[in-house]
Amino acid sequence: MTIPTTDSAAFAGAQRELERQLDERLAVLEELSPFALPSIDPVAFQTAASHRAAVEQITAALNRIAEGTYGRCTRCGEQIAPARLEVLPSAAACIECQSHADAA
């Protein structure tokens, strides 16, 4: 089974999903922002930080779709398993590179 990485139509679903997630995250961030400060609400602060990190990953993934590099590992350049992208459309690295990063 081969999946062409340059076929942008193949990632139309991923793009829609990423845009939906981006909207969702930004809405949560907007809601949290009044109290997302360590001195006011440390939990909200932590939550906002993780949402901000996710927004960055999602934005980067959308940029990769636009550039035609989506679906390739940003570390080793290998194809990311389609099943992984289905579960995590914003994944920037293949499972192997990610596991190295997590272990580090």
Which of 22, 32, 73, 85 binds Zn ion (CB under 5 A)? It is: 73
Does position 81 bind Zn ion by CB under 5 A?
no
65: Cα within 13 Å, side-chain hemisphere: 21
Residues in contact with 22: Cβ distance below 8 Å, sequence separation at least 6, in sequence order:
55, 58, 59, 62
Does position 85 bind Zn ion by CB under 5 A?
no
Q: Which is nearer to Zn ion, 52 or 75 (CB)?
A: 75
**Contact of 72 with 78, CB cutoff 8 Å:** yes
Q: With CB under 5 A as the contact rule, which of the stretches 4-12, 23-31, 33-41, 87-95 interacts with Zn ion?
A: 87-95
Number of residues that bind Zn ion (CB under 5 A): 5
Strand partners, 79: 72
Q: Which is nearer to Zn ion, 55 or 91 (CB)?
A: 91
Q: Which is nearer to Zn ion, 26 or 81 (CB)?
A: 81
**Residue bearing tokens 């389609």:** 82
Does position 76 bind Zn ion by CB under 5 A?
yes
Q: Which two tokens stand for residue 74?
A: 């940003």
